[in-house]
Structure formats: structure tokens, C-alpha cells
Amino acid sequence: MQEQADMEMLNAEDSMDKVITNYNKELQTIRTGRANPQLLDQIMIEYYGVMTPIRQVGQVSMPEPSQLYIKPYDKSVLKAVEKAIENSNLDLPPQNDGQGIRLVIPKMTEERRKELVKQVNKLEEGAKVAIRNVRRDANEKIKKLGLTEDDEKGYLEDVQILTDKKIKEVEVCTNKKNEELMHI
């Protein structure tokens, strides 16, 4: 039975790590006023019948700190890349020069920075809730194992310690991103 409880602990930790990984990916899509190729990670185009990330169909460079330039390997996808960027939630108008797509990232206003901090805090709360849900599920499974009272209490405390540790990791990521957003 303790082996099962140990497995539940490992499963809970793995699930919490996945929540943190997804949270970090979401944070990377929030632009900070500086060009970052990771802004394009969520944007897909149809390429030979398969949905493909933009970064796999072309070279992404940063000619200036506030610009991204996407040069497709196959020029026939240029229009598809342009359309995908227009339809994305980036709010960046693509500039097609016939060879590639240029994205100019505007300077952020104080108001926009504050909006983005609110957005980050909302994402943080979602990640914390997901971690707490993992904790709840792990606790329920451990309680159903029929362990001795002391063993069960020990495992439940371990789950809480793990939860606190993972929530702290989320808070560290949030603080780092908010600092990045507010840095001028």
C-alpha cells in the first residue's frame, strides 16, 4: 500500500510539474516590448496539409531589439504566414516585403504594462488552482488506500509540502515576468 502511496506522490509531482511547464509557456507568449521569437510559438499554419508552427517553416531572426523577421524556407507559404499572424492574438501587423514578414513590436505604455501584469496574475491564479486540484486528487487517492492513520497523515503532509513548493515556483515565475514587464 505504501508503494501505491509513493506512486500517487510521484504522479502528483509530475502533474504539478506539467502545470508549471504550461504556465511558463503561456508566460512566454506575453510580449514585453522586446522582440522574442517565442512570441510565435503558438501560431500555426497549414503546410502541405499539416498544421505546423511558424518557427518550423522559416528562419526567425531579430534584426533589431524591437523587431522579428520571419523568412520562410518556401516562399509559397509567405501569405499563409502573414494571414496566421493577422489572425493571432499578437496584435502586431505583419509587414510583407516579398521575401519575409517583419513584425515591429511597439514600445509599451505604462497602462499596457499594467494590463499585462494583470493578465500574468490571472494566469498565475489559474496555475495555482490547477496545482491545488492535483493536491485534492492526490489526497483523495491516498485516503482510499487504507493506510494506517499515521502513514496517511504523513503522506497527506508530504502532498501539502509538495503543493507549497510548486506554488512557490509559480510565484517566482510570476514575479520574474512582472519585473520584466515593468522594466523600461
pLDDT digits (tens, 9 = 90+) for 111-122: 888 888 999 999
CA 147/CA 150 separation, integer angstroms: 8
Across the range 15-28, mean pLDDT stands at 92
CA 173/CA 165 separation, integer angstroms: 13
The CATH class of the 2-29+109-182 domain is: mainly alpha
Residue 177 has pLDDT above 70, yes or no: yes
Across the range 2-14, mean pLDDT stands at 91
Residue 184 confidence (pLDDT):
61
DSSP 96: E
Residues 37-104, CATH architecture: 2-Layer Sandwich (3.30)
Residue 145 has pLDDT above 80, yes or no: yes
- In tens, the pLDDT along 24-68 reads 988 887 766 677 787 788 888 888 888 888 888 889 888 888 888
pTM of the full structure: 0.71
The residue extents of the domains of the chain are: 2-29+109-182, 37-104
Residue in this structure with the C-alpha cell 503532509, named with its chain if needed: 157
